[in-house]
Amino acid sequence: MNRLKISKRTLSGLIAVIIVLSLSAANALAQEGRSQINLQGTGVIIKDSDSGGLTQQATRSGGFLVGYSYQFHRWAGVEANYGYSRNTQKFSGTAAETAIQSDIHQITGAFVLHVPVETPIVKPYALAGTGVLVFDPTDNVRIAGADQQSRAAFVYGGGLDFEVAHTFGIRAEYRGFVYKAPDFKIGTLDLDKFTHLAQPSVGIFFRF
């Protein structure tokens, strides 16, 4: 089965497009106050997986998340995000143990449910959507043949926006990703199982 491979140039282009569209949309909708730019520091915690005597563990790490959201209704909106982190996937079995360090790029889109509340300061929300996680091995790998691999992902979560001012505030959020565990296109590392990535984060937002 063919799998999507994204070159570094293409990935950089996608990131640039997201940023440009976000800034353009924010500028166009400035007078409406429905657009928002989010900048967050993230944690990355991946669930251990095992199958057929093979175990996959991942180191915990940190990263960042940047996104643009548009609220088209009092209780509804949409959001697009790009995130980056780096960790090491460790594979161990009865015969050998190996590890692959990789950059993890996330590109997602989600529907956002804004929960109507009376307080003007705290604004809770929930989200659900889809996207892709791109696992790109670094030069610091311990196994030959490891290659970039993309995995489709379901994303869900929620959080709180704390308004410090009318156009600025603090965001605390949790995101969960469900996706098939990567094997970096090495058949002997294929667990053929779904896993879970937990991503708590905190950051700031600017509303336009």
Say what the pLDDT of residue 17 is.
Answer: 63
HSE value, Cβ hemisphere, 13 Å, CA-based, for 147: 9
Q: Which residue has the higher pLDDT, 97 or 38?
A: 38
Say what the pLDDT of residue 82 is.
Answer: 98
Q: CA of 181: how far to CAs of 47, 58, 154, in Å?
A: 10, 11, 13
pTM higher than the cut 0.75: yes
**161 alpha-carbon distance from chain centroid:** 19
Q: Which of the four pLDDT bands, split at 50, 70 and 90, describes residue 34?
A: confident
Task: With CA atoms as reference, report the closest residue to 174 among 193, 146, 197, 147.
Answer: 197
Q: Is the pLDDT of residue 21 over 90?
A: no
Sorted by where each starts, the structural domains of the chain and their CATH numbers stand as: 8-207 (2.40.160.20)
Say what the pLDDT of residue 1 is.
Answer: 41
Q: Is the pLDDT of residue 5 over 80?
A: no
24-28 LR contacts (CB < 8 Å, sep 24+): 25/68, 25/70, 26/68, 26/208, 27/208
Q: What residue has token string 């460790």?
A: 90
Euclidean distance between CA atoms 13 and 24, whole angstroms: 16
Share of the chain above pLDDT 90, in %: 69
Q: Which of the four pLDDT bands, split at 50, 70 and 90, describes residue 124?
A: very high
> 146-160 pLDDT, tens per residue?
999 999 999 999 999
Report the range of poorest mean pLDDT among 21-25, 51-55, 88-92, 130-134.
Answer: 21-25
Q: What residue has token string 């929300």?
A: 125
Whether the Cβ atoms of residue 153 and residue 175 lie closer than 8 Å to each other: no
Euclidean distance between CA atoms 176 and 162, whole angstroms: 21
DSSP state letter for 12: H
